[in-house]
Amino acid sequence: MSDETNDAGRTSWVPGADGHVMFPLQNLPFGVFSVNDVPRVGVAIGDMILDMAAIEAAGLLRPDPDLTVFDVPALNPFMSVGRFAWGETRRNLSRLLGGEDPRLKDNPILSGRALVRADQAKLHMPFAVAEFTDFHASREHACNLTALLCGPDHALPANWDHMPIAHNGRASTVIVSGTGVRRPMGQLKAGEEKRPRFAPSAGLDFELELGAVVGVRSAIGTRLSTSEADAAIFGYVLLNDWSARDIQHWECVPLGPFQGKVFATTISPWVVTTAALAPFRTPPPPRRTPLLPHLREGMPHNLDIELGVSLQARDGDAAEVTRTNARHLYFSAAQQLAHHSACGCAMSIGDLLGSGTISGDGPGSYGSLFELTWNGSRPLTLPGGAVRTFLEDGDMVTMRGWCSRAGRVPIGFGTCAGVVQPAI
């Protein structure tokens, strides 16, 4: 499940990398950065970013001997070289930054040029999103929504335990952390109103999710097993699929989410690779009913990732409002992708799969304000006295994710943040 790049005893010569709470040598997540308005691929190591274009140009790493894959503003060309090259690149990077391969460490001119301080760089969208599909894979979240919308005694739909439910989102509105989120306009209708009205959403919400990045293309008409699907996932990002609950509730019958879900989806800028997360695999929750063969797993594909969300009002201090874990997902990303392809749907490099809101089994572990405030009936009080049922203009939502396990070096995702801007 893991290789030498994950060994806890490995250290780096890069100052500050050893013991870094997010980006030690065992992580090496990929992203896109710029210093002088020229975006290219980088790898986070401690508080630095390794300029992969500079390393590629110097001949230290060449995933594709014929093509440049790092001096570009997206990870898609690198992902297209395939799983073997991903693994070789990770191993060679680990050796360069660990010092076993001294060509970077012993070349102060190259290392001085290739290692950039992260606080002096701008982070961009890490990959070009081909398609975006948002799943509904947390049973706790599904039960909470059913109770809120249909009553506490209403059961989940009969299909829920058998397959990961999903809807197609919009790749065009996936944005990188730090980008402002405009409050959407839409049709609203309160229960006592006879006709809908067009107005800014008053029910703006966050959704704490994990995003899987597909790095392998599949042809139309083919199906992926869960093991093949797991191998096709290049890595993972934190994902906030912002939701306008009032717009969503009016429009969702009979076809489901549309404008209440497609106005903005924020992802974290660093893609933590599947290889780096291998030591943190964990079994899924107990099954309530046997799965059909195409969704059965030969090994655990769930991930033990701690997740937290903090909320900060415009003039207040940030406060963590929820803490949960990705291990609660009833369907893993591999199962989501396998089911996505089960009908023969072609998958593309750069496809993004959102897990759906991840909620735990208690009020302090719910992954949305809709659940945390129980649809506004239990308001949250933030530091400074601000009270929230849903998000207000100027609010900042920040999501964090990290992995920690005995005998393993902790690794993290960084942050996924956005500030609510007024509607136009």
pLDDT per residue as tens digits for the range 68-100: 999 999 999 999 999 999 999 999 999 999 999
**Which domains does the chain possess?**
4-124 (2.30.30.230), 132-421 (3.90.850.10)
Which residue type occupies 191? G
- pLDDT tier, 11 (very low <50, low <70, confident <90, very high otherwise): very high
Alpha-carbon Rg for the chain, nearest whole angstrom, is 22
pLDDT at residue 325, as a whole number: 98
- pLDDT tier, 191 (very low <50, low <70, confident <90, very high otherwise): confident
Q: How far apart are CA 367 and CA 354, in angstroms?
A: 13
- φ, ψ at 95 (rounded to 5°): -70, -40
Q: Which runs of E-coded beta strand occur in 172-242?
A: 174-176, 181-182, 185-188, 197-200, 204-205, 208-214, 233-240
pLDDT at residue 1, as a whole number: 41
pLDDT at residue 218, as a whole number: 97
Q: Which two tokens stand for residue 188?
A: 């609203």
160-189 average pLDDT score: 97
pLDDT value at 251 more than 90 = yes
pLDDT at residue 342, as a whole number: 97
- pLDDT tier, 278 (very low <50, low <70, confident <90, very high otherwise): very high
How big is the CA angle at 312 (ends 263 and 197), to the nearest 5 degrees? Answer: 40
CB-side neighbour CA atoms (13 Å) of 225: 7
Catalytic residues: 141
214-231 tens-digit pLDDT: 999 999 999 999 999 999
Q: Which runs of E-coded beta strand occur in 268-317?
A: 272-273, 281-282, 302-303, 306-312
Q: Which two tokens stand for residue 171?
A: 């790749």
Q: How far apart are CA 386 and CA 143, in angstroms?
A: 29
343-400 tens-digit pLDDT: 999 999 999 999 999 999 988 999 999 999 999 999 999 988 999 999 999 999 999 9
46-52 average pLDDT score: 98
Contact 10, 25 (CB under 8 A): yes
Q: For residue 85, give the 3-state DSSP assignment.
A: helix
* Exposure string over 255-276, b if 16+ CB within 10 A, otherwise e: eebebbbbbbbbbbbbbbbbbb
Q: For residue 256, give the 3-state DSSP assignment.
A: coil
279-289 average pLDDT score: 95
Q: pTM here? A: 0.97
Q: For residue 284, give the 3-state DSSP assignment.
A: coil
pLDDT at residue 35, as a whole number: 96
Q: Which of 274, 267, 280, 276 is nearest to 327 (CA)?
A: 280
What's the whole-number average pLDDT of the chain?
96
21-40 average pLDDT score: 97
pLDDT at residue 2, as a whole number: 44
Number of CB atoms found within 10 A of residue 180's CB: 13
- Dihedral sign for Cα atoms in the order 404, 408, 410, 412: negative
Q: Which of 346, 206, 225, 326 is nearest to 277 (CA)?
A: 326
pLDDT at residue 154, as a whole number: 81
116-171 tens-digit pLDDT: 999 999 999 999 999 999 999 999 999 998 888 888 878 888 999 999 999 999 99
Contact 371, 243 (CB under 8 A): no
pLDDT value at 261 more than 80 = yes
Residue 167: which H helix or E strand, with range? strand 166-168
